[in-house]
């Protein structure tokens, strides 16, 4: 055992479980790619002010959870706690919004970092796949992203999740609601920190998970009652488009997201099999974020889906993904001459796109065949001195147990025939 271990609240991904994480990432990103979203990758750290301005200085993410550092040159940086601000920054820096064809549609995948109390489903290092549509105010984009996330989860076999939907209004109607909510919150028995948060961003208080706070919020004013006509019409169109696509959702009039940049459409995917950490993904519209970080007005919408949480949801439902075997063919050589021949054939099979492994370390026939079984390979190739003298390689179907000699030149065709 190593002297060192992974830091508290983090994890290592190792086979075979890591294959499930890769499959989840692929399934989510496949939906985004199918809808014209292009891949973007950003640094793991950014200027700390990018998140302070965009995510919000009153949020727990910025005040308590960001990992910050000072470089030798004196720059203040932060490990990215979320993906949207970084992706928008990258799009603005590259002037993608000036190249026509708005919206700019981007997807991403990576690791994110928050200093949180470590518990099941909540880690200090976590993985997400996200999608952002930048530069267009269109309810069809909001609906598209919700539908794509729903399709991603369904393609994985998940069924026991719910989609929660709400509207947070915009700069025209939210200030009126903000004042009404602040008036309500000032009359509650809240601690000083929560009252301070209520003065900066009262919607954040609605996201408080503490039971004693939630009890007091039962009669809080609802944003729905303060929406302007434009926001009401926009939200109804989003609802109609999702419904027309056959996607089932629930209206949650108290749903808010933990980031300050959200406007209008907000949504969450929750799974009741995960306990307190029920959210597996979510997102919404963030029409003012570009201006917050120094860019032009670019109405946008997006989501981020947690890979870690999705894997936990799959396990909660007992869903086992149909994962391709890491190795299709395993080659066992007995003797140096056979080793050189089979090693060349392994290379040939790999070049043909067939996942092939080799028995390393000179373990002998018995030990090597154990390795072949453990690898999950469908086919074992075996060659020794007698086989070489006869000019053949033994090809064994590990499922049926059938074995037959094959000439080296005909090996590729024989393997393909078994693998189908």
In 3-state terms, what secondary structure has residue 301? Answer: strand
Q: What is the pLDDT of residues 254-265, one digit of tens each?
A: 888 766 678 899
Question: Is 128 known as a binding-site position?
Answer: yes
This prediction has a pTM of 0.89
The H-assigned helical ranges of 187-288 are: 192-200, 211-216, 229-244
Greatest mean pLDDT among 14-28, 267-281, 360-374 lies in 14-28
Helix, strand, coil percentages, rounded to 5, for the chain: 45, 20, 35
Residue 117, annotated ligand binder? no
Does the annotation place 132 within a ligand binding site? yes
Let me know how long the chain is.
Answer: 420
The whole-number average pLDDT for the span 180-202 is 86
**261 annotated as ligand-binding:** yes
Residues 23-81: tens digit of each pLDDT: 999 999 999 999 999 999 999 999 999 988 767 655 666 667 889 999 999 999 999 99
Give the pLDDT score at 117: 80
Domain ranges of the chain: 17-167+244-317, 329-419
Q: Which of 227, 183, 225 has its CA nearest to residue 205?
A: 183
| 82 in a labelled binding site | yes
Query: Residue 384 contacts by C-beta under 8 Å, 6 or more apart in sequence?
Result: 333, 334, 335, 338, 365
pLDDT one-digit tens code per residue, 317-349:
999 999 888 899 999 999 999 999 999 999 999
Give the span between the Cα atoms of 185 and 203, in whole angstroms: 10
Mind listing the pLDDT tens digit for each residue in 370-404? 999 998 899 999 999 999 999 999 999 999 999 99
pLDDT of residue 357: 95
Measure the CA–CA gap between 305 and 25, rounded to whole angstroms.
9
84 known ligand binder: yes
Same topology for domains 17-167+244-317 and 329-419, yes or no?
no
How confident is residue 217, by pLDDT bands cut at 50, 70 and 90?
A: confident
How far is residue 279 from each of residues 161, 197, 305, 308, measured CA to CA in Å? 9, 23, 9, 11
Separation between Cα atoms, residue 115 and residue 420, nearest integer Å: 49
The architecture CATH gives domain 17-167+244-317: 2-Layer Sandwich (3.30)
In the block, residue with structure tokens 């492994």: 357
Top pLDDT among 117 and 91 is at 91
53 is in an annotated binding site: no
Instruction: Consult the annotation and say whether 113 binds a ligand.
Output: no
Q: Spelled out in words, what is the top-level CATH class assigned to the domain 329-419?
A: alpha beta
Q: What is the DSSP string of 96-140?
A: GGGSSSSSEEEEEEEEEE-----BTTB-SEEEEEEEEEES---HH
Q: Once rounded to an integer, what is the mean pLDDT over residues 4-21?
A: 92
Encode pLDDT of 275-299 as tens digits.
777 899 999 999 989 998 999 999 9
If you ran DSSP here, which 8-state letter would residue 273 be given? G
Q: Are 280 and 309 in contact (CB under 8 A)?
A: yes
């Amino acid at each position: 055992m190593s002297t060192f271990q992974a830091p508290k609240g983090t994890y290592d991904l190792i086979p075979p479980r890591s294959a499930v994480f890769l499959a989840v990432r692929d399934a989510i990103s496949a939906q985004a790619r199918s809808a014209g979203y292009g891949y973007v990758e950003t640094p793991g750290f950014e200027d700390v002010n990018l998140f302070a301005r965009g995510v919000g200085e009153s949020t727990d993410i910025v005040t308590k959870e960001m990992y910050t550092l000072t470089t030798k040159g004196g720059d203040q940086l932060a490990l990215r706690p979320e993906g949207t601000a970084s992706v928008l920054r990258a799009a603005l820096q590259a002037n993608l919004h000036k190249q026509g064809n708005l919206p700019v549609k981007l997807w991403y995948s990576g690791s994110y970092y928050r200093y949180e109390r470590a518990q099941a489903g909540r880690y200090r290092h976590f993985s997400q796949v996200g999608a952002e549509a930048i530069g267009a105010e269109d309810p069809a984009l909001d609906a598209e992203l919700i539908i794509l996330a729903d399709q991603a989860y369904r393609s994985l076999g998940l069924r026991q999740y719910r989609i929660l939907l709400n509207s947070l209004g915009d700069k025209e109607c939210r200030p009126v609601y903000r004042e009404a909510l602040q008036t309500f919150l000032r009359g509650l028995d809240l601690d000083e920190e929560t009252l301070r948060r209520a003065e900066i961003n009262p919607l954040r208080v609605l996201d408080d998970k503490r039971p004693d706070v939630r009890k007091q919020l039962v009669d809080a004013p609802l944003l729905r009652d303060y929406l302007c006509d434009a926001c009401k019409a926009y939200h109804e169109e989003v609802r109609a488009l999702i419904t027309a696509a056959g996607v089932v959702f629930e209206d949650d009039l108290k749903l808010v997201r933990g980031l300050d940049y959200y406007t209008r459409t907000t949504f969450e995917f929750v799974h009741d099999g995960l306990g307190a950490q029920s959210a597996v993904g979510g997102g919404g519209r963030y029409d003012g974020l570009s201006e917050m970080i120094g860019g032009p007005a670019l109405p946008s919408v997006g989501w981020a889906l947690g890979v870690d949480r999705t894997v936990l949801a799959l396990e909660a439902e007992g869903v086992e993904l149909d994962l391709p075997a890491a190795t299709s063919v395993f080659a066992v050589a007995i003797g140096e001459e056979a080793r050189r021949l089979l090693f060349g054939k392994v290379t040939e099979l790999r070049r043909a796109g067939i996942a092939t492994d080799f028995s390393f370390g000179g373990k002998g026939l018995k030990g090597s065949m154990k390795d072949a079984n453990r690898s999950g390979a469908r086919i074992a190739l075996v060659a020794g001195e007698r086989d070489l003298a006869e000019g053949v390689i033994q090809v064994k179907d590990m499922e049926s147990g059938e074995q037959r000699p094959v000439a080296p030149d005909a090996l590729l065709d024989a393997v393909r025939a078994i693998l189908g």
